[in-house]
Amino acid sequence: MTDAVPPRRIFPTSRVDARAAEHVPSIPQTESAAYKLAFQDTDFLLREDLRPVRFQLELLKPELLLDEMKVRSTFVFYGSARIPDPAEADALIAAATDDQQRAIAERLKAKSKYYDIARALARLASSAPAEGDGWRNFVVCSGGGPSIMEAANRGAHDVGEETIGLNIVLAHEQLPNPYVTPDLSFQFHYFALRKMHFLLRARAVAVFPGGFGTFDELFELLTLIQTGKVRPLPLLLFGAEFWRKVVDFQALADEGVIALSDLDLIHWCEDPAEAWAFVQAYYED
């Protein structure tokens, strides 16, 4: 009689069977797509009726890998993909070919200060110490692209901390910016799943001037908080001059389509140190 502990599994793992399937002899039956292991059959996984499975995969993959990397919570950055690094702003103006382009380039240059502000705020957030068991909070998370997203990842990179990029497949080529930690660089097909992952671990969100994508992310978050689908969290809105020009928040309350108290969901910011102090005080109460 032996006291040996039996193995936990009695069936071969998927990896074992996947390797075995690579060496199956070639005959008409094994060459058919029907014979492929379902989880290795890309054409099968891309079928229209497999969409629910693909949804689940896009939910699970980042969730499991972020857990393995001990990411407890995130500090999410939203903002334009077009606002330049201040060092590149003059080149944008020089490249303008008419008065309209030049005027736009000058306005983008004026907003280039937010690149530095986002970068500085990301450095501060990345200073949050890890918990005793190694789990980390306020890990900087962006959409993984250029401009404000790059600035956020760059700020974390400046201080040697890991940082997340949630990229998405678009019609035009989009690569992760070079400051995203490779093992925390994710690519999505579904906008819905990407947006869910932005908020699953979020403990603070900073929103900078931006276009349609930024509006989408900002107003979805405001709606989720307003309706109680997401617990309140620090929502930092940078660039009051920009936002009050393009959205009249007060008018929404005056017209009665939102409550006056809904305006309190937003904390207006311009200074990264003040913003980080606000977040810290929010969780100390």
Question: 30-65, pLDDT tens digit by residue?
Answer: 889 998 889 999 999 999 999 999 999 999 999 999
When pLDDT is averaged across residues 243-259 and rounded to a whole number, the result is 97
**Nearest-5° Cα angle at 209, 205 to 211:** 105
Q: What is the mean pLDDT of residues 204-223?
A: 97
Q: pLDDT value at position 7? A: 66
Percentage of the chain with pLDDT > 90?
A: 85
**pLDDT tens, 129-186?**
999 999 999 999 999 999 999 999 999 999 999 999 999 998 876 789 999 999 999 9
pLDDT > 70 fraction of the chain, expressed in percent and rounded: 97
Q: How confident is the model at residue 1 (pLDDT cuts 50, 70, 90)?
A: low
Sheet of strand 185-188, all strands in order from the earlier edge strand to the far edge: 185-188, 164-168, 139-142, 74-78, 202-207, 235-238, 267-269
| In the predicted structure, residue 26 carries a pLDDT above the cut 80 | yes
- Name the fold adopted by 49-83+113-284: Rossmann fold (3.40.50)
In this prediction the pTM is: 0.91
Gap between the Cα atoms of 199 and 230, Å rounded = 9
- What average pLDDT does this structure show over 113-141? 96
CA–CA gap between residue 227 and residue 133 (Å, rounded): 35
Q: What is the mean pLDDT of the chain?
A: 94
Asked if pLDDT for residue 115 goes beyond 90, the answer is yes
Helices (H) and strands (E) in the chain, counts: 13, 7
Q: Which of 172, 156, 165, 143 is nearest to 81 (CA)?
A: 143
Position 255 pLDDT exceeds 60: yes
Task: Name the residue ranges covered by the structural domains of the chain.
Answer: 49-83+113-284
